[in-house]
Amino acid sequence: MHNLPQTVIQESRVEQQTIDTFAREANRIVGSDQVSANPADLLANSRDYWPVNNIWMIEGRVPALPQLVVWPGNTEEISALLKLATKLKVPVTPYGEGSGTLGGAIPIKGGVSLDLKRMNHLLEIDEESLMVRVESGLNGALYEELLNHAGYTGGHFPQSLRCSSIGGWLACRAAGQFSTRYGKIEDIAVSLEAVLPDGTIFSGRSVPRTATGPRLDHLLIGSEGIFGVITSATLRIWPLPEKRHLISYTFADLKGALECIRLIMRTGARPAVVRLYDAQETGNHFPELGDQRCALILLIEGTAKIIAAEAEVIDDLAIASGAVDCGPEHVEHWLEKRFNISVASMLFQKGAVLDTIEVSTNWHNAHSTYLAMQKSLLAVEGTMLASGHYSHVYPDGAGLYMTVVGFPGSDKLAFYKRIWQAAMEACLAQGAAISHHHGIGLHRGQWMHEEHGSGLSVLKKIKKALDPENIMNPGKLGLEEGKLWQK
């Protein structure tokens, strides 16, 4: 291990003898070229996009290392690997593309990082029923490209599209930028195939809905790898839209703009993109609009006649709310820049700490949660900026996405913990849910009890029943008291 950097939150590791036994058997199951203890491979799968990784990486440390990386090629191989892991009590952490922002893919108890990248095939398109069957390791941008070639869209565009996988989307209950029209991943998913820790392979029926008891396959949506491995999914698709219509407005204040969006959602209009920025983010993203008003950008797409009606309904409500029409060019600018994720790592290199914290609100607390979270974040010593936007809207509320940047000096980790504590306390006090789409992973687990109350013990019982040896991504989703991380 002398070639590898020091780990910070490695809670435990599996005895080397057991790992050697696992590796021998895994070689037989997947082929020896698909099993690696090479330091470069262990390092690659030691981290995700959780910002704390950046703090440690700049210091030359990593959060935790797997002892093996295994790349299975199909569902049967995963079944054999999980059976083996249960028998030998070896932790298994599924790894999609490592774009999770809360440490979910970090193997804090060592063992095996099960990397899904080889399972990257689009299996079949059902053009009649508008569904596609796809393996879980397929990259998001490649998936959309393959669909576009066939004349369809998957309707799911997280900002991390180019660095995330289908399995990661499902495991984290992801939401894309076009979610108001196409739905979030749980709306897009028809059925899943998954493997449980005892090796059982199961799948749901790919029909529009069922009333045959609870949808067991959907239990895996949002499970973040703690119940098993999602191996493939049937997802809804849409014909490529006939037309796209772009509109932007500015409003005098956030509250008035939110009220306008609430009214739009009551009409039945479903623009694909609805993004409302506070004045600060308006100034940052659209400097030409200044930093005194709040920008709302909208993208409507689909059939031309329906779009025309939606645009008219939206425009009537916006103008009646005192909005100023700013034309399509700001939406075009957003479309060009929407997958650019380079700013965060540049800021870390300059000594900043940055994170984004997304929460879920109803209309009655959409604005007050923003105000409360902003106030709490700005009260933390070292915070330079706490701004927000709303990027997923519903008839019953909106997702609020706060960005916080600070220059805390030497103790970056203490600052990081303080901003999260401040944000989560403010969010919970307003009655909002602690995550809209990034999930829980390792870091947000400490607030799971406040979020779920007695529901957390139900989750623990399900986990115990499905995974009695606790091999699947142990230590995540707040099911175990955090040890090294929360100290």
Ligand X SMILES: Cc1cc2nc3c(=O)[nH]c(=O)nc-3n(C[C@H](O)[C@H](O)[C@H](O)COP(=O)(O)OP(=O)(O)OC[C@H]3O[C@@H](n4cnc5c(N)ncnc54)[C@H](O)[C@@H]3O)c2cc1C
Residues that bind ligand X (CB under 6 A): 48-49, 93-101, 104-105, 116, 136, 158-160, 164-165, 167-169, 171-172, 174-175, 224-225, 229-230, 341, 437-439, 473, 476
Q: Residue 439: what are its φ and ψ, rounded to 5°?
A: 90, -160
| Helix or strand (DSSP H, E) at 398 | strand 397-406
Looking at the Cβ atoms of 95 and 415, the one nearer to ligand X is 95
Distance in Å, CB of 187 to ligand X, minimum = 13
What's the min distance (Å) between Cβ of 323 and ligand X?
25
Angle between helices 412-429 and 366-379 (to 10 degrees): 150
Residue 44 DSSP class: H
Residue nearest to ligand X (CB): 168
Q: How far is the CB of 341 from ligand X (least distance, A)?
A: 4
Q: Residue 299 class from Cβ within 10 Å (0-12 exposed, 13-18 middle, 19+ buried)?
A: buried
Residue 125: in which H helix or E strand, if any?
A: strand 122-126
For residues 477 and 445, the answer to whether their CB atoms sit within 8 Å is yes
Q: How far apart are CA 93 and CA 112, in angstroms?
A: 6
C-beta closer to ligand X: residue 323 or 352: 352
Least distance in Å: CB of 136 to ligand X?
4
CB-wise, 101 or 248, nearer to ligand X? Answer: 101
DSSP string, 278-345: -HHHHHHH-GGG-SSSEEEEEEEEE-HHHHHHHHHHHHHHHHHTT-EE--SHHHHHHHHHTT---HHH
How far apart, in Å, do the first and last CA atoms of the chain sit?
25
Q: Which is nearer to ligand X, 99 or 360 (CB)?
A: 99
Least Cβ distance, residue 245 to ligand X (angstroms): 22
Distance of CA 112 to the CA centre of its chain: 22
Q: Which two tokens stand for residue 412?
A: 């970056």
If DSSP codes are grouped into helix, strand and coil, which group holds residue 354? strand
Length of the chain: 487
Shorter beta-carbon distance to ligand X: residue 17 or 342: 342
Structure tokens at 332: 């075009």
Q: Measured from the CB of residue 119, what is the shortest distance to ligand X in angstroms?
A: 8
Residue 118 and residue 399: Cα distance in Å, rounded? 33
Measured from the CB atom, the residue of 102 and 331 that comes closer to ligand X is 102
Q: Name beta bridge partners: 165.
A: 139
Q: Least distance in Å: CB of 160 to ligand X?
A: 3
Between 197 and 302, CB nearer to ligand X? 197
- To ligand X, the closest distance from the beta carbon of 402 in angstroms equals 14
For ligand X, the closer CB: 105 or 357: 105
Amino acid in position 421:
Q
